[in-house]
Amino acid sequence: MGRSPCCEKAHTNKGAWTKEEDERLIAYIKAHGEGCWRSLPKAAGLLRCGKSCRLRWINYLRPDLKRGNFTEEEDELIIKLHSLLGNKWSLIAGRLPGRTDNEIKNYWNTHIRRKLINRGIDPTTHRPIQESSASQDSKPIQLEPITSNNTINISFTSSSSTPKVETFQESISFPGKSEKISMLTFKEEKDERPIEEKFPDLNLELRISLPDVADRRQGLVGEGILTTPRCFNCSLGMINGMECRCGRRRCDVVGGSSGSGNGSDISNGFDFLGLAKKETTSLLGFRSLEMK
């Protein structure tokens, strides 16, 4: 027995959305809010799968989407975030207001990959292509916090291993935001041991200062998409937990983020990538930072 289909495929439309379908979906979400995607198509009078409705809304119809070309700043930010996170498109999208994971994924595959290859950089490993293909002897790793306001601190410390390293300091700025990531990168020298073995008591900590979300929230309220301003945690997608300060809950959410709960609140010590879903600590799960 295979998996049961997510919806009754025999009675659903597929392929490109028509203008009328778009209008129906927008009207329904404006009236009733996002969420409960499975029942939405029927309620909205759409012959579409709930997933398809969700995708259409998130990737195309949301009012806070930024259409148009990526800027050079956004390019560089995507590259740096990708070097840090790998193909975690939703996390990357969470740091680019108005951009969707699908959009960034497409843009990466069509533009940035080629751009990096032209620069002689392997788009997967972010290392020079010759070096990358020759060996796996150096891994870019971020370490040691650079603490100040408006800065993401990324710590990577080990008390028991002291590899010989070259260090680089790098900053990632966020377009239209005051925050930036500062990090040091080091290259290890010919150490073939797996990362867990090299850093047995690995301590990963990600924090970020309060991003400026007022403009986005204001826009949604102005559009009539949000009935009340959401608390910061809700605006980051952390809608369903103790973090919520405005009482909003899943299915009570109207409009909002791409659904990828990213971001942080430095005052509470949330992980800036929204990776610690259950445990609201600032420590990241190791799986979330797995290196590809």
Partner DNA sequence: AAGGGGCTCAACCGCCACGCC
Partner DNA sequence: AGGCGTGGCGGTTGAGCCCCT
For DNA, the binding residues (CB under 7 A) are 3-4, 6, 13-17, 35-39, 48-52, 54-56, 59-60, 87-91, 101-103, 105-107, 109-111, 240-241, 258-261, 277-278
Which is nearer to DNA, 48 or 248 (by Cβ)?
Answer: 48
CA 28-32-33 angle, to 5 degrees, is: 95
Residue with tokens 């027995």: 1
Residues 126, 82: Cα–Cα separation, whole Å? 9
For the chain, the farthest-separated pair of C-alpha atoms sits apart, in whole angstroms, at 63
What are the respective helix, strand and coil percentages of the chain, to the nearest 5? Answer: 35, 15, 55
Strands 180-188 and 151-157: parallel
Task: Give the shortest CB-63-to-DNA separation in angstroms.
Answer: 15
DSSP state of 15: S
CA distance 247 to 257: 17
Q: How far is the CB of 91 from DNA (least distance, A)?
A: 6
CB of 147 to DNA, least distance (A): 28
User: Among residues 225, 204, 148, which one has the least CA distance to residue 180?
Assistant: 148
Least distance CB 70 / DNA (angstroms):
9
* Complex with DNA: residue 41 or 145, whichever CB lies closer: 41
Judged by beta carbon, residue 3 or residue 190, the one nearer DNA is 3
The whole-angstrom separation of Cα 290 and Cα 86 is 9
> CA torsion sign, 133 to 136 to 138 to 139?
positive
Min dist CB 181 to DNA, Å, is 18
Nearer residue to DNA within complex by CB, 181 or 275: 275
Q: How far is the CB of 188 from DNA (least distance, A)?
A: 25
Round the CA-based radius of gyration of the chain to a whole number and report it: 21
Angle at 171 between CA 168 and CA 172, to 5 degrees: 135
Q: CB nearer to DNA: give 38 or 245.
A: 38
CB of 38 to DNA, least distance (A): 4
CB 128 within 8 A of CB 121: yes
145 or 256: CB nearest DNA: 256
Q: Which is nearer to DNA, 24 or 56 (CB)?
A: 56
